[in-house]
Amino acid sequence: MSSMTTEQRVAVPRDARNARIAVAVLFFTNGAIFANLLPRYPEIKRDLGLSNAEYGLAIASFPLGALIAGLAAATLIRRFRSSRVAVAGTLFVAVGVLIAGVSPTWVALAGAMFFAGAMDAVTDVAQNSHGLRVQRLYGRSILNSFHAVWSIGAVAGGLMGGLAVALDVPRGIHLSVTGALCVAAVFIAYRFLLAGPEPVERTVVSPGPDVHASAPKMRRTGPYLTLAALVLIAVGGTLVEDAGSTWAAVYLSGQLDASVSIAALGFVAMVGAQFIGRLLGDGLVDRFGQRAVARAGGVIVFLGMGAALAFPSVAGTIIGFGLAGFGVATLVPAAMHGADELRGLRPGTGLTVISWLMRVGFLVSPPVVGLIADSLSLRVGLLVVPFAGLLVILLAGVLSSERAERHRS
């Protein structure tokens, strides 16, 4: 570790260090609450007698709610502060997930998913906004670590949900207990978040590679086209995440005849590998640059999941989802950081827009995959995953190739 890095870490105020832990709690619970519902999807689909298309449309209500409510996040944050919005949003997400788990009809399921998605979108922007605020106090990149903690929460939630299925715990009891625990955690964390209103103008600090320093394509195309490319990169990541959360358990338990508890491992493998990739993400970006890391990730997604679909097996599919999760690990944090630092846009505009638009992937993917599955097969529908890897390979040029000083030759 360099002396400069040591000095920077010593200089970080205590309230910033406490806030970093508190923000990590927000990300952990955000991942855990919804992930507890995912292993229950096959039985919800079965109990309600839904076709693949009906199931996909119900799940798509979640990103639809996120799209409709997402743009309200900036206004809510300016009025009530990101800390308060994130905590209140977590409470409402937990309520929405509980209602979805016990819904007696397709309409109730879709409505609950819509509400949970709307609250999740607001919570997502608020916790990332507060995380970026803490990051600026640190003066170096820590955003990937927050998303890594989200992955830990999602893995924990997926394992808890799988265990609840294996023990035959009723969905209402399971989701009530896990939701209450997560809400209690964020209320405790609230007192350690940064005090005061949101800053009107952000301090100019470049934590990690400067998005603008060595990205000539960004300078040529202008901020809006660059923002569009960053959105598509984020959408590539969300397509993979949605495939793992919505369809992994259904595909493994349906076409590949895996048990319900084993089928839950598809999502767990994806999010677990995504966590490892995010844990390593800052170091990889420092060494190779965002562009190279993203392109390598796209190749891993394309080859890993492509091979799993070409040669289907339970073990191979679980590994394929794991490789896909590892490949997209840094995409959403990279796109968010790039959008938030774009010159020519008001502070916060890029982050809000990309957080909103990237949910198009979550909206479009479930019904499209469901329709393809009903017409052909779910195996064919899951080709959206290697397609997402190809999309990232083609668009990664808008990301920076800048490396940290200590890794330059």
What was the pLDDT predicted at 200? Answer: 56
What would the mean pLDDT of 375-386 be, rounded to a whole number?
A: 89
Percentage of the chain with pLDDT > 70? 87
What was the pLDDT predicted at 119? Answer: 95
pLDDT digits (tens, 9 = 90+) for 3-59: 444 434 447 788 889 999 999 999 999 999 999 998 899 899 999 998 888 888 898
Distance CA(313)–CA(258), nearest Å, equals 10
Distance CA(287)–CA(210), nearest Å, equals 14
Distance CA(283)–CA(287), nearest Å, equals 6
What is the number of other CB atoms lying within 10 angstroms of the CB of residue 26?
32
What was the pLDDT predicted at 160? Answer: 93
Q: Which residues of 78-95 are buried (b: 16+ CB within 10 A; e: fewer)?
A: eeebbbebbbbbbbbbbb
pTM of the model: 0.72
What was the pLDDT predicted at 373? Answer: 86
Confidence of residue 347 (pLDDT cuts 50, 70, 90): low
What's the DSSP call for residue 104? S
User: Are the C-beta atoms of residues 340 and 351 closer than 8 Å to each other?
Assistant: yes
What was the pLDDT predicted at 207? Answer: 38
Distance CA(141)–CA(82), nearest Å, equals 19
User: Are the C-beta atoms of residues 195 and 72 closer than 8 Å to each other?
Assistant: no
Contacts of 295 (CB under 8 A, 6+ apart): 392, 393, 396
Confidence of residue 249 (pLDDT cuts 50, 70, 90): confident
What's the DSSP call for residue 409? -
Which comes out higher in pLDDT, residue 247 or 173? Answer: 173
Please report, as a single letter, which amino acid is at residue 351. L
pLDDT digits (tens, 9 = 90+) for 258-277: 887 788 888 889 888 988 99
What was the pLDDT predicted at 235? Answer: 86
Distance CA(148)–CA(177), nearest Å, equals 24
What was the pLDDT predicted at 145? Answer: 87
Report which of 290, 317, 323 is spatially closest to residue 304, judged by C-alpha positions: 323
Distance CA(386)–CA(218), nearest Å, equals 26
Report which of 331, 328, 339 is spatially closest to residue 225, judged by C-alpha positions: 339
What was the pLDDT predicted at 208? Answer: 40
Distance CA(190)–CA(356), nearest Å, equals 24
pLDDT digits (tens, 9 = 90+) for 105-159: 999 999 999 999 999 999 998 998 899 889 888 877 788 889 889 888 988 998 8
Q: In the numeric block, which tokens belong to residue 198? A: 């949101």
pLDDT digits (tens, 9 = 90+) for 60-118: 899 889 888 877 887 888 889 999 999 999 999 999 999 999 999 999 999 999 999 99
Please report, as a single letter, which amino acid is at residue 359. R
